[in-house]
Structure 1
């Protein structure tokens, strides 16, 4: 089959070497919003961060070290209003702008004249006052901010612990690659890491080509560099349908365009694994969703 009719593995979003650095950076640079300290959004962000840390491969000690700084950075935007102390500077800004507009409307040709000096100065002083007021307000908020960060860390670590117990350890890179049996074990490890804790390599004869099985999921593994033909994908779907289970196809190679199209219709996740790098990436939309979310059950609910 020509290269043009095959789907090559995408560049992995996560690699084993960069996972921890990526997780720490994502937590710190995460999208921040101006929210009330009592808002549900604050704890939602904390729990989401704990879940992200667990799925990204951080161990608990690393998460506990990263999260406080991450949340302290995130909450810096929690105080954006200048508070009561900033009311006068804000009024000065408004008064200055109205004054300037009045002068311009009265005589547009006089713009830049001496009469503009006082209102411009009023606006400048107002902005300086707002900046000072915000610093004062931020300092006043500091004890409350530290307490808030502590509560966020506690909520995040609780979620981290729950998430960590719902998945196996991340597979380690295999410097010399893997053979076929090693690939089956690797796929089972990835499935456990992605939340299917009872995934195990099957040794049954007449299993329809199934390499990894669990209560709700089946997987086939092709450990070669070539293209996976549509017949293999159809066969996996047939067995999964008969057993009323969701299906995943792991390969170190590529998928034909026909295989991808069939898997999309069948609701099958196609996943490329790199045993040496210790990474995975999706070969279709469902596979990419599984890899990006780091959770098979979240993306592929049981039937």
Structure 2
């Protein structure tokens, strides 16, 4: 992924969204300039907060971020700053599994704590059905793309044999 230069808070938010998409949150979107309710980047399965400031990030900023997460949500919280984190902020982030990153003016990201080094990939369905190999002529349940094979016992013989059903990814 090609990071983008960061010279404004808007670029910092857009850069964070690009990194989140790179990490697997394909729908990560930043909306610089609009009301953010404490969340600058939104994705299915993750929320991001971006700070473009010279001051060190403290525990209160992380507490506000946790409070901005919608009720009942288990979205991964990811916090980005161009400055440093106070030790109390890092300890709080560890306790709440908030991934902390520090970005450079060149747009590169550096993980700060353990949750940032062990990213949780978002839960997602494959973009298309798994590739299936056709075994035509085998006589043991040939299958092709678009079908799903499952096994059941034949009532008459007691042996297992494949049955075919339509794939949920095809019409």
Contact 1:282 1:289 in 2 (8 A): no
When residues 214 and 234 of structure 1 are mapped into structure 2, their CA distance, relative to the original with a 3 A threshold, is same
1:297 aligns to 2:115 (yes or no): no
Query: Which residue of the partner structure matches residue 70 of structure 1?
Result: none
Contact 2:16 2:50 in 1 (8 A): yes
Q: Which 5+ residue runs of structure 1 have no aligned equivalent?
A: 1-169, 291-295
**Shift in Å at residue 247 of structure 1?**
0.5
Aligned CA RMSD, in angstroms, stands at: 2.1
What is the CA–CA distance in structure 2 between the aligned matches of 1:242 and 1:254, rounded to whole Å?
29
**Shift in Å at residue 173 of structure 1?**
4.4
Query: Which residue of the partner structure matches residue 235 of structure 1?
Result: 64
SS at the partner of 2:37? coil
What is the CA–CA distance in structure 2 between the aligned matches of 1:237 and 1:266, rounded to whole Å?
8
Q: Report the count of equivalent residues.
A: 122
Q: 2:45 aligns with which of 213, 216, 220?
A: 216
Bigger relative contact order, structure 1 or 2 (CA pairs below 8 A, ≥6 apart): 1
**Shift in Å at residue 297 of structure 1?**
0.7
Query: Which residue of the partner structure matches residue 28 of structure 2?
Result: 199
1:274 aligns to 2:98 (yes or no): no
Q: 2:7 aligns with which of 147, 165, 178?
A: 178
SS at the partner of 2:80? strand
What is the CA–CA distance in structure 2 between the aligned matches of 1:220 and 1:172, rounded to whole Å?
18
When residues 186 and 173 of structure 1 are mapped into structure 2, their CA distance, relative to the original with a 3 A threshold, is closer
When residues 172 and 246 of structure 1 are mapped into structure 2, their CA distance, relative to the original with a 3 A threshold, is closer
Deviations 1:88-132 (A, max 9, x none): xxxxxxxxxxxxxxxxxxxxxxxxxxxxxxxxxxxxxxxxxxxxx
**Shift in Å at residue 275 of structure 1?**
3.2
Structure with bigger gyration radius: 1
Taking structure 1 as the reference length, what is the TM-score of the superposition?
Answer: 0.37
Taking structure 2 as the reference length, what is the TM-score of the superposition?
Answer: 0.64
